[in-house]
Structure 1
Amino acid sequence: MTGRDETDLPGGWEAAAAEYVLGLLPEAEARAFHARLGQDRDLQRDVEAWQDYFSTLTDEIAPVAPPPQVLRRIEARLYGRRRRGFGSSLLPYLLGAVTAGALAWAALTTGLVGPAEDPHLYAELRVPDRGLDMLAHWSPETGTFMVRWDGGDYPDDRALQIWVIPEGAETPLSVGLIARGEGLTSIWLPEDLAAQVPGATVAISEEPEGGSPTGLPTGPVLASGLLDARIPASL
């Protein structure tokens, strides 16, 4: 844990990292947290440490099937009134751990854990003539869009901006800027933008420092790729 003294959030950034992992931060605080997360490697380590810690709390809890009426209410909340086939057959086991472990329950009911059919999505983004090598990753469980920097030099006095182009659309939507000097950029997406990520194309453009002044790409598009559930060989 970082133990930083200065904070803009109640309880400190370290406490906020714990609430983030559990999906308990209010939306306004979550936005502030994610804005800082992409730039603060110590904060990223806090998140990783809390994830490791909380995951151990349910390791030895045996699954317990919830009462049928509880299961029906949870299914209705997650999927609507229509029952799902395979996903529903797995739900008693998931909810058994939820019943036994309050942390897993909090993650499920706050949306930190999405339905089982929501896959992680990836896109490899390479610019051979510049030596740039990046991997985009969408995590539906945490609602974060990540870009891992694997090689190449960040352009001087310029910014690299991330865009998604929803399936069937022509207008790119800004996700944010790739953090300079960091191996991983992690950006939380609001629900309206997150809903448009599946099936979208991700693109990286070169922009003035601070990002595009128009809300659309103004510089060259360096790389693009379709977000896909297939796990890339670079992982």
Structure 2
Amino acid sequence: MSGAEDTDLPGGWDASAAEYVLGLLEGDERAAFEQRLAHDRDLRQDVEAWEDYFCSFTDAIEPVDAPPQVLRRAELELFGRDRNPFWSSLLPYLLGAVAAAAIAWMAMFSGLIGRSDAPHLWADLDTPSRGIELLAHYSPDSGTFMVRWDAGDYPEGRSLEVWMIADADAAPVSIGLVDRGGGLTEIPVSGNLAEQLYGGAAVAISEEAEGGSPSGAPEGPVLSLGSMAPREGQ
């Protein structure tokens, strides 16, 4: 694309224009690129061309308004706020969860609860560092939240507790404990909790004292976090 002769950045300025549009350039590379961009007309045209190209990927997606909790969570992650210790422990996971919540919402529409065609919701809640693999599933047919234990060892003398976080301002609500015996844990949930699951709420697994958190709020380390979404073929 670009007619610029200098190619100080790996892959050349043209490749760096694509990386810049995707937000992949950092530090000195980004500074060098923006310095060049300020006076290189061809490079600016490259950036505009890449912007048009990447935006075309979304042409087939119909716009859908995200629910308020998804927007608030995204704003807080972008612009920051004071966080309590529980939310601080979730920081490595939150951006992925926000994206997943938005995708889940775009895949659905309002008024699902109580409908016969409401989709089942799923989420992988794995902890690779411990070899734990869990699959969460919400069945609208029975109003049941389920956790299937697929791999790993249950922590000795501890309990794994499932939490739902409706949005970044809401206190986590305990859904229940993952059964120590493995297999399938089945937990009936209220219609209110189900509505929040369909609205993009995050679901987390934390390690707590045996029998669950005594305070009713998460106190132990967060092992995994995700958002429930429909899946084809399941």
Q: TM-score normalised to the size of structure 2?
A: 0.48
Higher relative contact order (CA 8 A, sep 6+): 2
The structure with the largest alpha-carbon Rg is: 2
